[in-house]
A and B are shown apart, each in its own frame.
Chain A
Amino acid sequence: MNVQTEIRDLTNQEYKYGFVTDLETDVVPRGLNENVIRLISAKKNEPEWMLDGRLRAYRHWLTLEEPRWQNVHYGPIDYQDIIYYAAPKPKTAGPKSLDEVDPEMVAMFNKLGISLAEQERLSGIAVDAIVDSVSVGTTFKKKLAEVGVIFCSFSEAVQDHPDLVKKYLGSVVPYTDNYFATLNSAVFTDGSFCFIPKGVRCPMELSTYFRINAADTGQFERTLIIAEDAAYVSYLEGCTAPIRDKNQLHAAVVELVALEGAQIKYSTVQNWYPGDKDGKGGIYNFVTKRGKCAGANSKISWTQVETGSAITWKYPSVILQGDNSVGEFHSVALTNNRQQADTGTKMIHIGKNTRSTILSKGISAGRGQNTYRGLVKILKSASGARNHTQCDSLLLGDQCGAHTFPYVEVKNPTAKVEHEASTSKIGEDQLFYCQQRGIRQEDAVSMIVNGFCREVFKELPMEFAVEAQKLLGVSLEGCVG
């Protein structure tokens, strides 16, 4: 028996979402300059203040240098060789309704397992479907509007709810935040916008499905979720891209705002094309995600399952500003072949008695390199703050790597911070034990990997937990329940 071979077989399952759909696409000229930004803004029929914001970000970006402190390695990115806007051409003019979505687009989403037909959806999930730079349709908008929930594409929000966008855009991730967030602020094209008014518990899961289809484009989406006092929302995000030899850049920004007593649960299953086994192609996933617990007793919870992308660089974070607010981060990151991930979180404790939990599970296979990087910062004002961090790494094989960089800054003596970490190799003993019970080796490997991730998977909504397990090459029964 050879563990290496089995792990290879398990982890080398073919990328199922690598197809390209032949869509007629409207693109802007390759490269980045003020004219391109003006063109994007004009295509989206944006108000003046939006264009001003973009240009301000762009000018700031020109003064920045690409960060290289992260524990990942890649060649230079030619920002002039990227197409910053690519939109599938609508076949009908005028306002889109779901019935008017291009049938080819509907077929593409069906192929991805996402139904855009409301009546066909069993699970009560509203979907905003985004292809390349634009949203092509959002389901259940009317039903959600009945309870006052706004769920639409970012572009629509700019047109229909400018005051909300103006108030919250950049309030958590300012345009000056970091190189990629600044770039996003200049060129972002679409994304989802969710607003849950005071006291409303969103009656269904909201989700956005991101699909990169066009070649040589970058996807720069922007998501903004606002939960007013005592509101609740669970939001899911999924992503895939075609197989291509060339790397594609995905630089998104996600901002969450939770007001007093509000709760936002944000789950991601990231399955961008990871590149081939020699590391050719794949998505550069450089993402800034941050939530602000602005009100007292609010809660923001991030759960992510990162299996795709050639390089993942993201730290979904929480600013715990309101007293007694709670931040959570649950993560599974899998790197295989030549994939690299540098991911983790930041928990910034400002309010009193704020609590945060970090649970990170890194799995490395092949020549994958997996880094956990986390910051727990407890400010002077955060008396009684508590954090618990647990970082576990699982190595499959002997050519991969796991790295951990936990940073802790405590400025208040009443704070309690705990950190636990472990690194284990998938054991010959464990495998033999399973085999001796009649379980085939490949099933045993996935069973053990799944068991390792269980604590994170149980944080995912049911449908996503299923998808996540499948992604790790595992049947449903292993870990749910």
Chain B
Amino acid sequence: MLDIKDLHAKVLGREILRGISLQVNAGEVHAIMGPNGSGKSTLAQVLAGRDGYDVTGEVLYKGKNLLAMSPEDRAVAGVFLAFQYPIEIPGVGNLYFLRTALNAVRKQRGLEDLDAMDFLAHAKERMKLVEMDQSFMTRSVNEGFSGGEKKRNEIFQMAILEPKLAILDETDSGLDIDALRVVAAGVNALRSKDRAMLVITHYQRLLDYIVPDHVHVIASGRIVKSGTKDLALELEKHGYTELEQQLPARPSPALGGAL
């Protein structure tokens, strides 16, 4: 599904990703953990096609060169990013926004547009996954949503768009324990043998609910350790500091932590 080889990313001349290699197969859930500033979110942004990074290396998505595709082409091809900070779009109805997005994806898949009525039925059914209130639909995209509502809305969008590769960027941040359960249940319901997920998180907590097949630790722009879910528990116990100290070559202090 996803094959990342020696991925580097620079912003304003500073190297944030320093050679990431990672393989993700369909049906797998990979957790990406790491301290603040280690490059986790940059990895998510680069995979989704955010402008402003100077990227080298190779990323194959279903055998295609992902880095050559525009953000919208990646999206319709099945790459979904659940944003760490979902964006507000005042005046644009949540439901309208999602229907436009879904129809863009459907077009790519050779399907007819869903009309407003069919879409509504589909959306209502999907909303149950994240226990969202119907009033969400008539509100503007993320406008005036609480932090928890925004995160739920991201997972709701994922449920609607049914991506092949879902990247969840700190979906647990800012959630209380009840909201975390709801969001995790939504994510788990979307796990399937032909869908891969990259779950980016700072804390082990999320992984109690979304149990990963693999765990990778990023520090200073590199994957420094990979393992099973036990690795996450180990991290919880010892923290990132110890792990960072094991690194053979630390980058210069100016780069560590600053980003």
Contact = CB atoms under 8 A, between A and B. Distances in A.
| Most chain A Cβ neighbours within 10 Å, of B50, B51, B86, B92 | B92
A437 interface: yes
Contacts of B96: 477-478
A433 B70 CA distance: 13
Contacts of A454: 90-92
Give the size range of B's interface with the partner.
20 to 34
Given A432-B51, A439-B104, A1 B91 contact: no
Interface in A428-481: 428-430, 432-441, 443, 447-448, 450-455, 477-479
Given A443-B100, A451-B140, A479 B91 contact: yes
B104 A440 contact: yes
Contacts of A1: 51, 70-71
A430 B89 contact: yes
Given A428-B51, A439-B100, A451-B140, A434 B89 contact: yes
Given A447-B97, A478-B96, A453 B91 contact: yes
Contact of B87 (A429, A439, A441, A450): A429
B119 to A, nearest CB: 11
Interface stretch (B5-13, B75-83, B204-212): B75-83
Interface string B50-67: 110000000000000000
B159 to A, nearest CB: 13
A398 B256 CA distance: 34
Given A428-B51, A448-B92, A438 B87 contact: no
A435 B91 contact: no
Given A427-B87, A433-B86, A447-B100, A438 B92 contact: no
Nearest to B167: A436
A327 B50 CA distance: 46
Contacts of B161: 437-438
A479 B91 CA distance: 7
A73 B96 CA distance: 41
Contacts of A427: 87
Given A435-B71, A436-B48, A450-B92, A430 B157 contact: no
Contacts of A430: 87-89
Nearest to B102: A438
Contact of A451 (B48, B90, B104, B157): B90
B105 interface: yes
B72 A451 contact: no
| Most chain B Cβ neighbours within 10 Å, of A430, A438, A443, A450 | A438
Given A436-B71, A436-B81, A452 B101 contact: no
Nearest to B107: A438
Nearest to B48: A436
A58 B89 CA distance: 51
Nearest to B106: A438
A437 B78 CA distance: 10
25 contacts: A1-B70, A428-B51, A430-B88, A434-B101, A435-B49, A436-B80, A436-B81, A436-B83, A437-B98, A438-B108, A439-B101, A441-B72, A443-B100, A447-B92, A447-B97, A447-B100, A450-B91, A451-B90, A452-B90, A453-B91, A454-B91, A477-B96, A477-B100, A478-B96, A479-B91
Interface of B: 48-51, 70-72, 74-76, 80-81, 83, 86-93, 96-98, 100-101, 104-105, 108, 140-141, 157, 161
Given A434-B89, A435-B71, A438-B161, 6 more contacts: A432-B48, A433-B83, A437-B157, A447-B89, A447-B92, A451-B89
List 4 A-B pairs, minimum CB-CB distance, nearest first. A451-B91, A451-B92, A438-B104, A454-B91
